[in-house]
Homo-oligomer: A and B are copies of this chain.
């Protein structure tokens, strides 16, 4: 099974001022990130503004990213769409352009009708038909629903479902998922905010937006945890709280891009209807990064 152990930041999709994809800056960002302690990347996920891209753009994005991502680093391609058939089709195309695995967000538009059986049916068909291993992706802040633990437990038994990115923030749920799935099912913390808690109950890696700007601290946290130095891990975790909030719940993708601009990567504009940070928000973000010594 493909190992997802470590840090896999969900990278933003860079845009030019006209909101078209800026492939040149995609490459330059990746070149820099390739030197960081990352085991790979999620390309075309929530932080990649995947919902604002056409299917064609999503495929091209992965194809181009692959050119700059060496083989030894993983490329997880976002392949979730609202329909099962669309997701399956996209997963097949992601395989063709060099992704190592697909990460598939829960459908959510018809949330009130999406029960456990619907999710099991959806992901089972995707896993059956995807040539690439499948990582489940649960992100309640965006989908307003929560993939239930029993559905995860059932899906984990599928040979082509290798893990889950859990962004809901409940460490109790992570503990339950680790406990109710076989040993090689890999649970990834979807954020650096609850990483230490997640590691403590058995998560093996993370897909943190903060990894795009502060991978070193996250890496040190994991290393401290692995060697049993919880005091150090706790200090590192504390230092990540505010930056993490800033580039996720507080300022969203626009905040993450602005933070990248501030530290010399290319963030650039977001696609409308997302809006850039106001001057006041930018100042607050800058202060948070400064206090966290992120530069």
Q: B-contacting residues of A (Cβ < 8 Å)?
A: 19, 46, 49, 51-55, 81-86, 107, 109-114, 117-119, 121-122, 125, 141-142, 144, 169-172, 174-176, 178-179, 191, 193-194, 196-202, 228, 230, 233-234, 237-238, 241-242, 244, 249, 251-254, 271-275
* Complex Cα gap A46–B52 (Å): 18
Chain B residues with CB under 8 Å of A52's CB are 81-83, 86
CB distance from A247 to the nearest CB of B (A): 12
Q: Which of B49, B170, B237 contacts A175 (CB 8 A)?
A: B237
* Complex Cα gap A197–B200 (Å): 6
CB distance from A240 to the nearest CB of B (A): 9
- Contact of B272 with A175 in the complex, beta carbons under 8 Å: no
- Contact of A175 with B200 in the complex, beta carbons under 8 Å: no
**Number of copies of chain A assembled together:** 4
* Complex Cα gap A201–B271 (Å): 36
CB distance from A30 to the nearest CB of B (A): 23
Q: Return 20 A-B CB contacts under 8 Å, by A number.
A: A49-B83, A51-B83, A51-B109, A51-B110, A83-B272, A84-B273, A110-B253, A113-B252, A117-B275, A121-B272, A121-B275, A170-B194, A171-B197, A171-B198, A172-B191, A175-B194, A175-B196, A176-B242, A196-B200, A202-B234
- Contact of A273 with B55 in the complex, beta carbons under 8 Å: no
* Complex Cα gap A184–B196 (Å): 22
CB distance from A111 to the nearest CB of B (A): 7
Closest 6 CB pairs of A and B: A197-B197, A171-B197, A172-B193, A52-B83, A122-B273, A84-B272
Instruction: Select the residue from A52, A175, A237, A273 with max chain B CB neighbours within 10 A.
Output: A273
Instruction: Select the residue from A52, A172, A197 with max chain B CB neighbours within 10 A.
Output: A172
CB distance from A108 to the nearest CB of B (A): 8
- Contact of A85 with B271 in the complex, beta carbons under 8 Å: yes
* Complex Cα gap A170–B122 (Å): 29
* Complex Cα gap A191–B176 (Å): 14
- Contact of A272 with B142 in the complex, beta carbons under 8 Å: no
Known A86-B52, A252-B110; judge A230-B125 contact (CB<8 A).
no
